[in-house]
Structure 1
Amino acid sequence: MKQFFLTLAGVFAGLVLFVILVPVALIGLAAAGSSSPTTAPGTVLELDLREGLTDQPPTNPFASFGGAQLSVLEVVDALDRAEDDRNVKAVLIRLPEMGMTPAAADEVRQAIRRFRAAGKPVIAHSQGFLPVGAVLSSYMVGAAASELWMQETSGFQATGFSADEIFLGDAFRRYGVTADFEQRYEYKNAVNVYTENDFTPAHREAMLSWMRSLYDQALAAAASDRRMPPAALTELIEGGPYPADRAAALKLIDKVGQVEEAEAEILRRAGNGAKLVPLREYVSGHGLQTGSGADAIAIVQAEGTIVTGRDSGGGFGSGTMIYSDDMAKAIYEAIANRAVKAIVVRVSSPGGSPDASEQILAAIRAARAAGKPVVISMGAYAASGGYWISSEASAIVAQPSTLTGSIGVFGGKFVLSEALGRFGVDIRALSVGGEYADAFSPVTRFDGTDRTAFATSIDRTYDQFISRVATGRNLPEARVREIARGRVWTGAQARELGLVDELGGLHEAIAQARALAEIEESASVRLIRYPAEKSPFEALSAAFGVSAEGARAMATVGTIMSDPEAQALITRARTEQLRARGGVVLADQPLR
């Protein structure tokens, strides 16, 4: 019976493969196999930032199902490629009404400036800047364009940066939930939302510090691109909000008009026959640049929360985890590749497991021991565990607005017995073994012995973190303890503190890797990405638990079965078989 159900499940999976996924896989393979796609003359790329950006492209070919977001690296790579593509004449940018991730805005702005330096125009169009979050980052990107347009009915309401925090301390106390945590130290504020009803002095100090840093950097960048003194732009910004026509009169924007008018203008500048092409199509048609040459630089992707283990690959999404087994394997593969002379690790992570972080850091140490420099390129954030894995790299490159540091540790549990008891739900705990066996039971708070043991483990992890930063950054341990304590810094602040070497994005990190590997500037270099993008067959294999060869075989069978001539041959064979058994067959029809 068990085998019957397994067979039934296999048949169902096969039908899904044949009817739905195989055609998609074959189309994907055909697209991947196409050689050297060309761009139509007079192409104007349209970059719509209203859809949001991830930091890195997915390695799963099915992640684009449902319209997955473009990544910062794809946008930057496409704009860099378009600089030298003589068929790409200009770019139109649709700006988000709300904020962008500041570090993503930094990297996109830098790519826009390089594109414009190639003599190609960029028009950015906005349907308003709302007073929400990091909206000045959106304005900063628009300010980097050749012209910044705004719709007539829209408002220029970008007057600063804002951030909100929801505190659950009073609610938890009211409903009988106890947040029992240890944190190292006062700036490690993640637990405050569960224990407090307002910002602690340290929490307020740290947040205002990095928010002010982001604000000042966005204003300085926008002022430079708008060719205004920073003080003058600051005064104008803080004097808002303004309607669109007033913003134009104050030189905060260049023109007032509908997006269709901006489209017509950028097409006019591109010349006769110009056509708008979504940047997503340009990315999918060309893929990421790989370059050429005997020497190679590995690009290792790492985005999301850091956890132990490996990605099972059971779904079609892009995933938001950094699995320590997978990332360490990618680094070791780059070490084993003789062509790879240096490794760039792109990190965008808020942190995660110290044990997973240490496994990844060990692989980075192994790369350096093998004579291969490792350069960290920090994305939106590389905090806590994200900084742990970065700490002993050969060099660290971060955007001015990357959130990094947070050299600290926290841990604990929620005690739920009282809260659930109010609804008639009782929790009872049993344990055998040592006293610490039930330390993380949600029934009671840590007792004296449990708390001592747990606090000791938190202290040990914090000391290990401090040691790795002191070693990797060549700083006295006492100095690291001063600037750690769980505090978050921007990339600009971190450089001043010695936690970051250079400001910039992946472009600058690759240049740093070339220099450390002593590759001549005139030499061509290949970029090899790890982990490699899965083929459609490998993605199907992971999703359905069959081998890649099996998925390929099923796809082949599915293709044959869908061929009309093959169907006719099968039908005739079945017909002759029935006739041989004495059956009366009136016509050679498909059996139903």
Structure 2
Amino acid sequence: MKQFFLTVLGVFTGLILFIIVIPMVLIIAAAASSGTPATPANSVLELDLREGLTDQVSTNPFAAFGGSGLSVVGIVDTLAQAEKDAQVKVLLVRLPEAGLSPAAADEIRQSIRRFRAAGKVVIAHSQGFMPVGTVISSYMVGASASELWMQNTASFQATGFSANSVFLGRAFEKYGVNAQFEQRYEYKNAVNEFTQSDYTGPHREAMTAWMTSIYDSAIANAASDRKVAAPALKTTIEAGPYSAQQALSLKLVDKIGQVEEAEAEAKRRAGRGSDIIEFSDYASSKGERTGSGRDAIAIVGGEGAIMTGTGGSSTFGGGSSIYSDRTAEAIYDAIEDSAVKAIVFRVSSPGGSPEASEQILAAVRAARAAGKPVVISMGDYAASGGYWISSEADWIVAQPSTLTGSIGVFGGKFVVSEALGRFGVDLRGLSVGGDYSDAFSPSSAFTEGQRAAFSASMDRTYEEFVQRVATGRKIPIARVREIARGRVWTGAQGKTLGLVDQLGGLTEAIGKARELANIPADQSVRYKRFPTPQSPWEALSEVFGVQSEAAQALVALGGVMADPQTRAVMSRIQTERLRGQGASVLADQPLP
């Protein structure tokens, strides 16, 4: 009987795969068979930043559902190749009307400056800068170009930096939801959205401080690139908004024109017979940088919320998360690779599970014990659990606008029995065992003993976090407690506090890794990425199990779908999923 049901399940799964996967494979195979032409002479790369970015290229071949496919690390990698490619003459950047993530904007700006330093032209085009969120970061990227264009009907409304928080305290009180949370300590502000109706003093203080740091950094960078004084640029920007013509007269932009006109100018600057190539097509044709040489530097990726497990259930369309088993295994694989002399661990995470964070940190310790230096490269976030896994590395590199720190912990539950009772729904609970067995039941509030036990666990986790920072950063534990308390800092602020060693991105982290591994600057080096990308067959096997008859039947498709061009098509679209549970070392939510 069991075999019968397994066979039925296999047939059912096979039908689903036949209906969904086979057509997809045929489309991909057709795309792959067409081939990617060599880069033509006098090429213009067109980089469209309007559809959103992830931090890293996904290793999941089925993550390509619902996104632009662009990643910050991918852009850095591709521009590093393009700056050395004699065929590529010009970069055309399409700017978003809303904001870019500040740290992503920092890293893209740095790549653009390196591209320009190679003697190449960058033209940026904007269809307006809207007064939302981090739009000042979009302007900063545009200001780094050789020329910044703006559409004639667009408005320049990048007059500052704004953020909003939703507080549910009054609503929960009105509708009978009891939010019972512990936080360590007053700056661990994620809890406030459930318990308060407005910013607390520490919440307002911390947010204002890091927002000001990001804003001032963006203004300073834009002023440097536009060759004007930062105070003068700040005064001009804050006196807006402006029409496109006014922005031109104030020298906030260089030219007014439609994007087609900017494209024509880019082609003219590229030279005779020039053509425009989509950034993703060029990236696919080049692939990831591999370098050359005897020695290698491992690049380990981690993006999203930190949680235990392998992530095997999220194959189809799953977003990015840092799974402790998979990430720790990637670090151990790099340790065991004799060619690897140092590890660059790219972290972009607002935090998550303390247990998962500690498992990953143990792998970092193992790498150092094996004589392989570990350099952290922080992306948008490396806060809370993201800082936990970074804390004991040899060196930490962060962007000025990276959100980091948040050395603290929170946890709790929602008691919803009263709220449901108002709708005639009665929630009741039963338990056996000790008093703590139903501590997290949503049907009743913590008992006095449960609350005391839970509070003690929060204290232990907080002290463990503080101890790891003190050990890794060589800061007296009393000082760590002063700068911790759950407070979020920017990378620039973190550097002054000793939480960060150097400002920069992946390029700077690789440079430091070479130095710590004693690899001469003039010696070629290879880049090895961990975890290695899964083939579609490996991903399918992970979901359905190697004993699934339906999955086994797809092995013939593995050859087609494992093709590098096929993987390039599949990996164009990325998504992000954040998840946390129980006691979490999780920072505030990402910026809009």
* TM-score, L = length of structure 1: 0.91
Q: Is structure 2 residue 42 aligned with structure 1 residue 47?
A: no
Kindly indicate whether the alpha-carbon contact (under 8 Å) linking 1:22 and 1:558 is maintained by their aligned counterparts in 2. no
State the partner residue of 1:226.
226
How far 1:141 moved relative to its partner? 0.2
CA RMSD of aligned residues (A): 2.3
State the partner residue of 1:191.
191
How far 1:316 moved relative to its partner? 2.4
State the partner residue of 2:573.
none
Cα separation, 1, equivalents of 2:111 and 2:49: 14
Kindly indicate whether the alpha-carbon contact (under 8 Å) linking 1:29 and 1:535 is maintained by their aligned counterparts in 2. no
Kindly indicate whether the alpha-carbon contact (under 8 Å) linking 1:330 and 1:530 is maintained by their aligned counterparts in 2. yes
Instruction: Supply the AA of the counterpart residue of 1:470.
Output: A
Q: Structure 1 residues 313, 453: CA separation in 2 closer, same or farther (over 3 Å shift)?
A: closer
How far 1:354 moved relative to its partner? 0.6
Cα separation, 2, equivalents of 1:557 and 1:208: 54
Q: Structure 1 residues 468, 120: CA separation in 2 closer, same or farther (over 3 Å shift)?
A: same
Of 510-519 and 532-541, more deviation after overlay is shown by 532-541
Residues 530-541 of structure 1 mapped to structure 2, 5 A cutoff: 530-541=530-541
SS of the residue 1:523 aligns to = coil
1:258-312 CA distance string (max 9 Å, x none): 0010000001111122111110111122221111111111111100000111111
State the partner residue of 1:130.
130
How far 1:89 moved relative to its partner? 1.2
State the partner residue of 1:405.
405
Residues 199-278 of structure 1 mapped to structure 2, 5 A cutoff: 199-278=199-278
Cα separation, 2, equivalents of 1:119 and 1:320: 36
Kindly indicate whether the alpha-carbon contact (under 8 Å) linking 1:404 and 1:494 is maintained by their aligned counterparts in 2. yes
Q: Is structure 2 residue 287 aligned with structure 1 residue 296?
A: no
How far 1:478 moved relative to its partner? 0.5
Of 386-395 and 11-20, more deviation after overlay is shown by 11-20
Kindly indicate whether the alpha-carbon contact (under 8 Å) linking 1:150 and 1:258 is maintained by their aligned counterparts in 2. yes
Of 271-280 and 124-133, more deviation after overlay is shown by 271-280
Kindly indicate whether the alpha-carbon contact (under 8 Å) linking 1:59 and 1:318 is maintained by their aligned counterparts in 2. no
Kindly indicate whether the alpha-carbon contact (under 8 Å) linking 1:28 and 1:536 is maintained by their aligned counterparts in 2. no
Instruction: Supply the AA of the counterpart residue of 1:505.
Output: G
Cα separation, 2, equivalents of 1:180 and 1:165: 20
Kindly indicate whether the alpha-carbon contact (under 8 Å) linking 2:535 and 2:558 is maintained by their aligned counterparts in 1. no
Cα separation, 1, equivalents of 2:433 and 2:478: 39
Q: Structure 1 residues 373, 199: CA separation in 2 closer, same or farther (over 3 Å shift)?
A: same
Of 174-183 and 446-455, more deviation after overlay is shown by 446-455
Q: Is structure 2 residue 365 aligned with structure 1 residue 365?
A: yes
Instruction: Supply the AA of the counterpart residue of 1:85.
Output: D
State the partner residue of 1:526.
526
Q: Structure 1 residues 558, 331: CA separation in 2 closer, same or farther (over 3 Å shift)?
A: closer
How far 1:7 moved relative to its partner? 2.1
How far 1:425 moved relative to its partner? 1.1
How far 1:38 moved relative to its partner? 3.0
State the partner residue of 2:589.
none
Kindly indicate whether the alpha-carbon contact (under 8 Å) linking 1:18 and 1:558 is maintained by their aligned counterparts in 2. no
State the partner residue of 1:168.
168
Instruction: Supply the AA of the counterpart residue of 1:92.
Output: L
Kindly indicate whether the alpha-carbon contact (under 8 Å) linking 2:10 and 2:549 is maintained by their aligned counterparts in 1. no
Of 281-290 and 225-234, more deviation after overlay is shown by 281-290
Kindly indicate whether the alpha-carbon contact (under 8 Å) linking 1:42 and 1:270 is maintained by their aligned counterparts in 2. yes
Cα separation, 2, equivalents of 1:171 and 1:381: 30
1:49-79 CA distance string (max 9 Å, x none): 0011000011112322455431100111111
Residues 457-536 of structure 1 mapped to structure 2, 5 A cutoff: 457-536=457-536
Q: Is structure 2 residue 101 aligned with structure 1 residue 101?
A: yes
1:169-201 CA distance string (max 9 Å, x none): 000000000110111110000000000000000
Q: Structure 1 residues 33, 456: CA separation in 2 closer, same or farther (over 3 Å shift)?
A: farther
State the partner residue of 1:386.
386
Percent identity, please. 67
Cα separation, 1, equivalents of 2:22 and 2:293: 36
Instruction: Provide structure 2 residue ranges, at least 5 long, that are not aligned to the other structure.
Output: 561-592
Cα separation, 1, equivalents of 2:33 and 2:515: 34
1:462-483 CA distance string (max 9 Å, x none): 0000000000000000000000
State the partner residue of 2:75.
75
Of 227-236 and 66-75, more deviation after overlay is shown by 66-75
SS of the residue 1:53 aligns to = coil
Cα separation, 2, equivalents of 1:93 and 1:59: 26
Q: Structure 1 residues 98, 310: CA separation in 2 closer, same or farther (over 3 Å shift)?
A: same
How far 1:26 moved relative to its partner? 7.8
Q: Structure 1 residues 504, 425: CA separation in 2 closer, same or farther (over 3 Å shift)?
A: same
1:208-249 CA distance string (max 9 Å, x none): 000000000000000000000001100100110000000000
Cα separation, 2, equivalents of 1:400 and 1:557: 45
Cα separation, 1, equivalents of 2:35 and 2:515: 32
SS of the residue 1:472 aligns to = helix
Instruction: Supply the AA of the counterpart residue of 1:114.
Output: R
SS of the residue 2:61 aligns to = coil
Kindly indicate whether the alpha-carbon contact (under 8 Å) linking 1:17 and 1:555 is maintained by their aligned counterparts in 2. no
SS of the residue 1:529 aligns to = strand
SS of the residue 1:99 aligns to = coil
Kindly indicate whether the alpha-carbon contact (under 8 Å) linking 2:300 and 2:345 is maintained by their aligned counterparts in 1. yes
Kindly indicate whether the alpha-carbon contact (under 8 Å) linking 2:406 and 2:489 is maintained by their aligned counterparts in 1. yes
Kindly indicate whether the alpha-carbon contact (under 8 Å) linking 2:11 and 2:550 is maintained by their aligned counterparts in 1. no
Kindly indicate whether the alpha-carbon contact (under 8 Å) linking 2:151 and 2:259 is maintained by their aligned counterparts in 1. yes
1:132-163 CA distance string (max 9 Å, x none): 00000000000000000000110000000000
Instruction: Provide structure 1 residue ranges, at least 5 long, that are not aligned to the other structure.
Output: 561-592
Q: Structure 1 residues 304, 8: CA separation in 2 closer, same or farther (over 3 Å shift)?
A: same
Q: Structure 1 residues 338, 31: CA separation in 2 closer, same or farther (over 3 Å shift)?
A: farther
State the partner residue of 2:456.
456
Cα separation, 2, equivalents of 1:220 and 1:509: 23
How far 1:544 moved relative to its partner? 3.2
1:385-430 CA distance string (max 9 Å, x none): 0000000000000000000000011111111111111111112222
How far 1:108 moved relative to its partner? 0.3
Of 524-533 and 36-45, more deviation after overlay is shown by 36-45
Q: Structure 1 residues 12, 68: CA separation in 2 closer, same or farther (over 3 Å shift)?
A: farther
SS of the residue 1:142 aligns to = helix
